[in-house]
A and B are shown apart, each in its own frame.
Chain A
Amino acid sequence: MRRAGVVALNTFREAVRDRVLYSLVFFALLMMAAAVAVGQISIGIEQTVIVSLGLSAISVIGVLISVFIGVALVSKEMDKRTLYALLAKPVRRWEFLLGKFGGLVLTLAVNTAAMALGLLLVMLYVKHSLERSDAVVLVAVYFILLKLALIVALALLFSCFTTPLLAILFTVGLYIVGLYVQELRDLPVEVMSPAMAAFTKWLSHLLPNFENFNVMAMAAHGRAVPGALILQNTLYAVVYCTIVLTAAAVVFSRRNLK
């Protein structure tokens, strides 16, 4: 575990020094500025507009970082052969993967927290005060972070057995599909054949449900998120990430490096 921690800290250090990450943070600040401008022309619905726009920006930026840097975590190391010197040391391959995952999630947590702070400051600027109900924004940000962790795990899994380009396509594809899992569950199964209905149900439970993590509408209107949902989403993300990372470790442990 200590070895995974060392890899995680190094991954964090690398990501923080990555210029792509800086430019995305800059983009976030730009979005916040846009939110202020939009807020000023939307009479009476400033909070709704600012929170929606701010959370969307945090989510989009986070997803971009998770997919692109998530896929590069392993593939870049293999391409540049930095992995050789590392894996020749007493480091298990799963420890390396876990460290990479932890490092990027830590980076995302720091990045997302910075953006959330920016959002709260913008809200304070527009409303001149923050209320207790505004804490729901932090819950929404926490859910975004859980979603990002899940995307990183998927990106890692795909990058363990395919090319970076395909890994990006698979991750983005699965993310988009995962946004519509609820629709898949709501399909009228009575019009399908029993086999198709069973397959649809099975598939809807197998695919990651990213829509679970979307509480943007509640946050925009200042409505509280139930504690049970927080617990359920946390457990869902932890269990799903564990399964995906275990699969990634199994694949990566058997992989021949170039």
Chain B
Amino acid sequence: MQGSAIEIENLTKEYPFGFLHLKKKASLEGLNMQVETGEVFGFIGPNGAGKSTTIKLLMRLIFPTAGSARILGKPISDVEMHREIGYLPEQPYFYDYLTAADRKDRVQRMLKKVGLDTAHKIQLRKYSKGMLQRVGLAQAILHDPKVVILDEPMSGLDPLGRREVRDIILELKRDGKTVMFSTHILSDAEMLCDRVGVIVGGRLRGVGAPGTLVDIKSQGMEILFELRGASNAPLLSKATRTGACYRLHVAEEELYAAIEQLRGAGARILSVSQVKATLEEFFLNLVEADRAQAAAVEVSGK
């Protein structure tokens, strides 16, 4: 890592609404964040959290109410700096009368990379959503940018397409590029990102490596076992049954006693695993807390 590729300082975006646009709603509130050079940074949050707003502000498609941002050390208002940035918009749409490629070897190579090498002569209006997404990705990396910003790159893709996008992101990282992408799919973020930023209700709620954001302390043990025939072991009432298999969640200190009791009842232990909090749980807790806070504000009439 050699310094920050993207620096965001107190970035705020408010939208006017209501009669005569006199009221204002903050879509993003004082965002402070850095994306380090060469890292893959995941920007996660629910719909309307401010992910796309942040990315659009960085791409100067909208303008901030307050705050500033720099990419590769230059202010985002510097148009020439955009040569070094690749951008995939959310739900990309291109001139539909064009074909994906009519020239240049590099275009052909990029299309091959995103799995569209056989469809390059078809007009874009005939493309599926997933194919458009891939064209969007190809145009974002076509000019060999140093920083690649992708808004929901996995959206609309089938499992194969998602896998291809993951591979492309990892390849970009290997080539020393900085990648920032927003996503709803937490498993992708966990798998790909050096660090993630969680944004909820326009405010950044946490930044760090996916493993450090969540409480990695064990939240108990899970025993998977098989039991044929009836048994009146007391623990069985706490287990969840799926066919002949049962899942039982116990505290770590109760593990051996539970195993003995189950074996005594004639159960065959299939596996024992540690239960840890996931990024998803961390994320859901934040979203739920935010909703509860919003509801409380509404009730108090503030």
Contact indicator A90/B56 (Cβ below 8 Å): no
Contact indicator B93/A80 (Cβ below 8 Å): yes
Task: Compute how far the CA of A235 lies from the CA of B283 in the bound complex, rounded to whole angstroms.
Answer: 63
B residues within 8 A CB of A10?
95
A residues within 8 A CB of B97?
13-14, 17
10 contacts between A and B (CB under 8 A): A13-B97, A14-B95, A82-B95, A85-B87, A85-B89, A85-B94, A88-B59, A88-B85, A90-B81, A257-B56
Q: Which of B79, B83, B139 contacts A92 (CB 8 A)?
A: B79
Knowing A10-B95, A17-B97, A257-B56 touch, does A89 contact B63 (C-beta < 8 A)? no
Is residue B82 within 8 Å, beta carbon to beta carbon, of the partner chain? yes
CB distance from A9 to the nearest CB of B (A): 12
Knowing A89-B82, A90-B79 touch, does A81 contact B62 (C-beta < 8 A)? no
A residues within 8 A CB of B85?
88
Is residue B92 within 8 Å, beta carbon to beta carbon, of the partner chain? yes
The interface residues of chain B, by DSSP majority, are classed as loop
A residues within 8 A CB of B42?
none
B residues within 8 A CB of A13?
97
Is residue A256 within 8 Å, beta carbon to beta carbon, of the partner chain? yes
B residues within 8 A CB of A90?
79-83
Knowing A90-B82, A90-B83, A92-B79 touch, does A85 contact B92 (C-beta < 8 A)? yes
Is residue A117 within 8 Å, beta carbon to beta carbon, of the partner chain? no
Task: Compute how far the CA of A13 lies from the CA of B95 in the bound complex, rounded to whole angstroms.
Answer: 11
Knowing A10-B95, A14-B95, A90-B83 touch, does A85 contact B139 (C-beta < 8 A)? yes
A residues within 8 A CB of B285?
none
- Residues in A80-137 with C-beta less than 8 Å from chain B: 80-85, 87-92
Task: Compute how far the CA of A254 lies from the CA of B97 in the bound complex, rounded to whole angstroms.
Answer: 29
CB distance from A238 to the nearest CB of B (A): 27
CB distance from A225 to the nearest CB of B (A): 39
Q: Using a CB–CB distance below 8 Å, which chain A residues touch chain B?
A: 10, 13-14, 17, 80-85, 87-92, 254, 256-257
Task: Compute how far the CA of A10 lies from the CA of B96 in the bound complex, rounded to whole angstroms.
Answer: 12
B residues within 8 A CB of A17?
97
Closest 7 CB pairs of A and B: A88-B87, A84-B89, A256-B62, A90-B82, A88-B59, A257-B61, A81-B93
**Residue on A with the closest CB to B94?**
A82
Is residue B293 within 8 Å, beta carbon to beta carbon, of the partner chain? no
B residues within 8 A CB of A14?
95, 97
B residues within 8 A CB of A89?
82
0/1 per residue, B40-70, Cβ < 8 Å to A?
0000000000000000100111110000000
Is residue B91 within 8 Å, beta carbon to beta carbon, of the partner chain? yes
Is residue B136 within 8 Å, beta carbon to beta carbon, of the partner chain? yes
B residues within 8 A CB of A256?
61-63
Task: Compute how far the CA of A81 lies from the CA of B85 in the bound complex, rounded to whole angstroms.
Answer: 19
B residues within 8 A CB of A91?
79
A residues within 8 A CB of B63?
254, 256
B residues within 8 A CB of A87?
59-61
Task: Compute how far the CA of A90 lies from the CA of B136 in the bound complex, rounded to whole angstroms.
Answer: 17
**Residue on A with the closest CB to B136?**
A85
Task: Compute how far the CA of A53 lies from the CA of B94 in the bound complex, rounded to whole angstroms.
Answer: 40
A residues within 8 A CB of B61?
83-84, 87-88, 256-257
CB distance from A99 to the nearest CB of B (A): 13
Q: Which of B62, B81, B92, B93 contacts A257 (CB 8 A)?
A: B62
CB distance from B90 to the nearest CB of A (A): 9
Contact indicator B59/A81 (Cβ below 8 Å): no
CB distance from B104 to the nearest CB of A (A): 14
Task: Compute how far the CA of A80 lies from the CA of B79 in the bound complex, rounded to whole angstroms.
Answer: 23
**Residue on A with the closest CB to B59?**
A88
Contact indicator A82/B93 (Cβ below 8 Å): yes
CB distance from B232 to the nearest CB of A (A): 64
0/1 per residue, B92-136, Cβ < 8 Å to A?
111101000000000000000000000000000000000000001
CB distance from B220 to the nearest CB of A (A): 47
CB distance from B152 to the nearest CB of A (A): 13
CB distance from B247 to the nearest CB of A (A): 46
**Residue on A with the closest CB to B151?**
A84
Which of A14, A85, A91, A257 has the largest count of B CB atoms less than 10 A from its CB? A85
Contact indicator B95/A88 (Cβ below 8 Å): no
B residues within 8 A CB of A80?
93
Task: Compute how far the CA of A182 lies from the CA of B173 in the bound complex, rounded to whole angstroms.
Answer: 66
Q: Which of B83, B87, B91 contacts A81 (CB 8 A)?
A: B91
- Residues in B136-154 with C-beta less than 8 Å from chain A: 136, 139
B residues within 8 A CB of A83?
61
Task: Compute how far the CA of A84 lies from the CA of B82 in the bound complex, rounded to whole angstroms.
Answer: 13
**Residue on A with the closest CB to B13?**
A256
Task: Compute how far the CA of A232 lies from the CA of B80 in the bound complex, rounded to whole angstroms.
Answer: 39
